[in-house]
Structures are given as C-alpha cells and as structure tokens.
Structure 1
Amino acid sequence: MSDTGRESLTDKVTSAAKPDSEKSYVEQATDYVKGTLDSVASAVQPQQEKSTTQKIGDAVTGDNTNRDAA
C-alpha cells in the first residue's frame, strides 16, 4: 500500500487547525497547492491501494471521489 503523493492525515489536521486569518499568504498558497495535489492523488489512486488512514482522511475531508470497491 503506497500513499505516494498524498498529504498525511497529521498534516491535514495541523493545517486545518490554524485559521487562514492567522496564516501568511505563503502558508495559504502552500495549503491550497498541497490540498489540490492531494485531491488529485486521491481521485486517481485505487481505493484498494489506499492505507486505512488515507481512507479515513478522504472520508473526513470529502476527498473520496474515487469510489472503487474497498
């Protein structure tokens, strides 16, 4: 099970915990790019190849557009 190109659940939680109003423009841009890349990686990675933590993270964040059989 490889989660290459995926943002870790810890990184997602850490990023979400700090409000955008307290982030610099660079932090906001970085979060946007990471989030976009993670969403793309989530969509193209087959569900059966995702780790349990990535499946949970995708379900929580709504990045579960790839609905292959688990």
Structure 2
Amino acid sequence: MSDMGRQSLGDKASAAVKPDSEKSYVEQATDYVKGTLDSISSAAQPQDQKSTTQKIGDAVSGDNTNRNVA
C-alpha cells in the first residue's frame, strides 16, 4: 500500500490547529496547495490501495469520494 504524495494526519492536524489569521500568506498558500494535492491524490488512489490511516483520515476530512473506511 502506498500513500506517496499524501499528507499525513499529523500534517493535516497541525495545519488545522493554527488559525489562518495567525498564518502568513505563504503558510496559507502552502496549506491550500498541499490540501488540494492531497484531495486529488485521495480521489485518484483506489480505496484498496490506501492504508487504514489514510482511509480513516479521508473519511473524517471528507476527502474521499466513496468514504468507505472498511
């Protein structure tokens, strides 16, 4: 199973913890680009090739078209 190109749950959480009002424009842009690329990767990667952690993260964040955690 490969999660290459995907953000870890820790990266997603750390980006979400700090409010945008406290981030520089560069940080906000970086978060946006990483989030967008992660969403694209999530949609492109077949569910059976995702790790359990990514399946759960996708289901929680809504970045999964089929949202099937099992």
- The normalised TM-score by structure 1 is 0.92
How far apart, CA to CA, are the structure 2 residues paired with 1:64 and 1:16?
Answer: 18
Quick one: which amino acid aligns to residue 33 of structure 1? V
Provide the residue aligned with 1:7 in structure 2: 7
CA contact (8 A) 2:58 2:67 kept: no
Consecutive unaligned residues of structure 1, counting only runs of 5 or more, are: none
How big is each residue's C-alpha offset from its partner over 1:5-37, in whole Å with a ceiling of 9 and x where there is no partner?
100010000100000000000000000000000
CA contact (8 A) 2:5 2:38 kept: yes
Give the RMSD, CA atoms, in angstroms.
1.4
Consecutive unaligned residues of structure 2, counting only runs of 5 or more, are: none
Provide the residue aligned with 2:36 in structure 1: 36
**Structure 1: 4+ residue segments shifted above 3 A:** none
- The normalised TM-score by structure 2 is 0.92
